[in-house]
Copies of this chain bind each other. A is one copy, B any other.
Amino acid sequence: MNKSFVSADDVAKRAGVSRSAVSRTFTPGASVSEETRQRVMEAADALGYHVNQLARGLMRSESGIVCLVVSEMDTPYRARLVRALTHELQTAGKIAMLINTDRSDGSVDGALRQTLHYRADASILLSGLPDKAITRLCLNSGQRIVLINRDDDIEGPFRINLDDGQAARVAVSAFLRAGCRRLAFANSDVGTPSLMARERGFIAAAAEFGLEVMVVRHGNTVYESGRKIAQTLFTEPKRPDAVFCVNDLMALGLMDGAKHDFGLHIPEDLCVVGFDDIEQSAWTSYSLTTFSQPVDEIVKSSVAWLQSEATTGGVRSVSLHAPLIWRKTIRHKSVGA
């Protein structure tokens, strides 16, 4: 009664076997006779025994813990990714530790240090760029690292990225086909690699057609910033007729600004394309045409890489395709032409 957790010893005593037998019963692939296994299982059930993963992690090299390092995790896209990741990890027999890097102090570096405290097998970073020293520390400790959508030149982690440049190119040609000529790009000033890749790609693709792009960067990558950008963009003398927003949240904010503050009609007066394909983009009030994040593929390939044996060599980086989901914010034919 007093002893809160029941240990393998207790089970062994009750089943009349050695503690090793108990351990082996719960270790897949170990050598136990069917009879003793039965006896052990029975005793374990009766006592409510669970193997202590902490202790197991102490012996084995693997703890079964995978850390997810995330900031602003209530953002629709991030939340979806976290949900999918935890699910996939669980079906792979691992468990997710969630590290919130919202606060400014130390942030990502501190988070990675935490992952070491708990001897995580791996860390998956959805936000922030870790210091190289810390990254190396993790790698040296035998930890695996996955970077999602944050390409950089660190050697060692597995990197998953989207073909942002290609997507930007598709956006430009979609706009052109719709008869748009005054292109704009709405970005935050966060400056994450993937966001900047979209910006560069868009500008480059437009340049191929001899078009310049109005670029506006503002605040965080959120709805409010989109609204704000609408204010500056649509008071310009030459109001753009097409905006590629670096992310859906900003696109939705920009659309609301365009509609309610400027009375613009979408897609007649203005075409908009976003990125992420969050749930809200499909809502009737928006019906945003946007690039879809291949969340399932991202998750599958992350977890698959974590499972893979080869720690050296092998693939170190994957680039996935983000298809354009056609809804109603790009008109199909040129207007007035």
The residues of A with any CB-CB pair to B shorter than 8 Å are 4-5, 48, 50-55, 57-58, 61, 63, 68, 72-76, 79-80, 82-83, 86-87, 90-91, 95-100, 102-103, 113-114, 116-119, 137, 140-142, 223, 227, 252-253, 256-257, 259-260, 279-280, 283-286
Contact = CB atoms under 8 A, between A and B. Distances in A.
Given A113-B50, A279-B223, A285-B256, A79 B73 contact: yes
Contacts of A97: 95-98
Given A55-B58, A119-B54, A95 B114 contact: yes
Contact of A280 (B86, B102, B114, B280): B280
A98 to B, nearest CB: 5
A60 to B, nearest CB: 11
A76 B54 CA distance: 33
A79 B87 contact: no
A5 B117 contact: no
Given A283-B252, A285-B285, A99 B95 contact: yes
Contact of A100 (B87, B256, B284): B87
Contact of A283 (B103, B113, B223): B223
